[in-house]
């Protein structure tokens, strides 16, 4: 077998045909690493001649047994189950990435204890000693009766031996960057080790129906360290995120073969571990007592549920000729477009003003459905008149100033009513067929109507 070498950046995974000191994409220094690609001459001859031999089983779709795949195990944590798509799937591999100290080990130790009650679980730590894990378990009040197996090991061969002895149904690896195949010469955490270890574990999961959760470190850019190929190899990719100033933690599903991508789970980090927050809208709502200019709520669709997010705007006279537009948790390009629409179709010019918009609580509202709410927050910040406290809005804004319908209107309206909102601004096509108790809906067809509606309130 012949092999060809190429070079991959450990920071951003860009591939380079030859070695160089700096990555062309992310400009990181000394981040390129060699990986080998095998170019098997035999495969090439087969492709050329079409002379394939050797058997591999084929089957009809209807004959495939799906009982094993459909098996889902609850982690006993409603939020973690939700982001997994309804529980952990047997034979699947989940990759959980996040900043150091965010709570990855904490969450998965509790998960190991919960899953261990009914099945054989193996928790492998390459980062902490058994004593450190035991201390954390004490803090998390894991009962002594918890029935899972611990192992502090980084050599994958040794781990595989234990797996064949113990026959666990679920394995947790903390973290994939610390694992190494002894047979390989490269160090743990390098691109080739990461790829080979993950590939061995994925094969094991698929062949034996074991559910595997891998913890992954993230780079400075917030991506899982190592090649992007890691994310392609696994079934589910979850990112642990948080607002540095808050005790709330979020897990976002960016890929899920067994559930909705973009699903969000919310937790609170307490003295004794992570607690699920099952009604997250309520925690963000309780922080607000009075109506203030520049603020309005938006029912954001996250995976399979609605989350009410406060959108804030600040419009201030710009000290420099070049005014600033800053968006935190929202799309900055979209803000520029919306301000142009506001000028052209509602005659509100903000050239001399700096405009800041923010999705409160470290949340993200990147849906176009947030357009109307953003414009209303900006308008209110500009004229210093607040919208009522229990007012929210949704709708996409088109370039000719029209307000366009958005998906999941009914679900968003129901969530608003549940959370005690009384007024909603929305596009005509999203008007509910049946009135929703306690919620008054105002149709907005065009941005130019907003002032008239505001004066009527």
- Give the binding site for Mg ion (CB under 5 A): 105
| Size of site (CB under 6 A) for ligand TYD | 15
CB 133 → ligand TYD: shortest distance, Å? 10
Of 2, 138, 139, 440, the one binding ligand TYD by CB under 6 A: 139
Closest by alpha carbon to 148, among 173, 115, 176, 175?
115
Q: How far is CA 329 from the centre of its chain?
A: 13
Distance CA 415, CA 133 (A): 40
Q: Is 271 in the site for ligand TYD (CB under 6 A)?
A: yes
CB 127 → Mg ion: shortest distance, Å? 6
Which of residues 218 and 431 has its CB atom nearest to ligand TYD in the complex?
218
Q: Look at residue 54 and give the partner it binds from ligand TYD, Mg ion, none, a contact being a CB closer than 5 to 8 Å depending on partner kind.
A: none
Of 116, 216, 273, 293, the one binding ligand TYD by CB under 6 A: 273
Q: Look at residue 98 and give the partner it binds from ligand TYD, Mg ion, none, a contact being a CB closer than 5 to 8 Å depending on partner kind.
A: ligand TYD
Task: Specify the stretch interacting with ligand TYD by CB under 6 A; choose among 17-25, 51-59, 202-210, 265-273.
Answer: 265-273
Give the burial class of 320: count Cβ atoms within 10 A of its Cβ; 0-12 exposed, 13-18 middle, 19 or more buried.
exposed
Eight-state DSSP code of residue 177 = G
Q: Are strands 353-359 and 391-393 parallel, antiparallel or unpaired?
A: unpaired
Question: One symbol per residue from 92 to 111: x for binding ligand TYD (CB under 6 A), - otherwise; what is it?
Answer: ------x-xxxxxxx-----
CB 237 → ligand TYD: shortest distance, Å? 16
The answer to whether the beta carbons of residues 451 and 346 sit under 8 Å apart is yes
Which of residues 215 and 378 has its CB atom nearest to Mg ion in the complex?
215
Give the list of residues 6+ apart from residue 279 with CB closer than 8 angstroms, or none. none
Note the residue count of the chain. Answer: 457
Cα maximum dimension of the chain: 78
Eight-state DSSP code of residue 61 = G
CB 355 → Mg ion: shortest distance, Å? 40
Distance CA 434, CA 416 (A): 15
Which of residues 98 and 227 has its CB atom nearest to ligand TYD in the complex?
98
Residues that bind ligand TYD (CB under 6 A): 98, 100-106, 136, 139-140, 269, 271-273
């Amino acid at each position: 077998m012949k092999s060809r070498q190429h070079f991959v950046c450990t920071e951003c995974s860009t591939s380079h045909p030859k070695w160089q000191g700096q990555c062309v994409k992310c400009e990181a220094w000394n981040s390129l690493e060699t990986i080998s690609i095998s170019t098997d001459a035999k495969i090439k001859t087969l492709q050329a001649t079409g002379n394939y031999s050797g058997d591999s089983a084929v089957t009809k779709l209807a004959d495939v047994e799906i009982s094993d795949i459909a098996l889902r195990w609850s982690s006993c944590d409603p939020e973690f189950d939700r982001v997994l798509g309804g529980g952990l799937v047997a034979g699947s591999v989940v990759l959980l990435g996040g900043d150091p100290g965010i709570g990855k080990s904490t969450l998965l130790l509790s998960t190991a204890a919960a899953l261990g009650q009914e099945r054989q679980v193996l928790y492998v730590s390459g980062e902490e000693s058994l004593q450190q894990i035991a201390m954390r378990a004490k803090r998390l009040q894991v009962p002594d009766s918890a029935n899972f197996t611990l192992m502090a090991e980084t050599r994958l061969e040794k781990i595989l031996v234990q797996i064949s002895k113990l026959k666990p149904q679920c394995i947790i690896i903390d973290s994939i960057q610390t694992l190494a195949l002894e047979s390989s010469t490269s160090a743990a955490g390098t691109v080739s080790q990461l790829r080979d270890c993950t590939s061995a574990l994925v094969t094991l999961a698929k062949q034996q129906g074991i559910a595997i959760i891998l913890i992954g470190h993230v780079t400075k850019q917030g991506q899982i360290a190592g090649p992007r190929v890691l994310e392609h190899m696994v079934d589910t990719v979850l990112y642990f995120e948080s607002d540095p100033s808050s005790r709330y933690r979020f897990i976002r599903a960016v890929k899920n073969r067994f559930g909705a991508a973009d699903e969000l789970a919310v937790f609170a980090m307490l003295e004794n571990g992570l607690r699920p927050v099952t009604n997250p809208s309520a925690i963000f709502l309780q922080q607000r007592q009075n109506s203030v200019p520049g603020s309005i709520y938006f029912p954001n669709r996250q995976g399979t549920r609605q989350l009410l997010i406060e959108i804030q705007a600040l419009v201030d006279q710009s000290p420099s000729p070049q005014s600033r537009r800053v968006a935190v948790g929202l799309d900055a390009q979209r803000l520029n477009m919306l301000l142009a629409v506001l000028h052209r179709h509602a005659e509100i010019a903000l050239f001399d003003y700096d405009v800041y918009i923010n999705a409160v609580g470290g949340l993200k509202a990147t849906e176009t459905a947030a357009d109307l709410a953003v414009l209303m927050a900006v308008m209110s910040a500009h004229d210093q008149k607040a919208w009522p406290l229990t007012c929210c809005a949704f709708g996409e804004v088109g370039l000719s100033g029209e307000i366009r319908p958005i998906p999941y209107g009914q679900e968003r309206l129901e969530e608003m009513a549940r959370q005690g909102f009384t007024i909603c601004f929305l596009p005509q096509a999203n008007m509910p067929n049946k009135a929703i108790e306690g919620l008054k809906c105002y149709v907005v067809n065009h941005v130019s109507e907003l002032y008239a509606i505001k004066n009527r309130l």
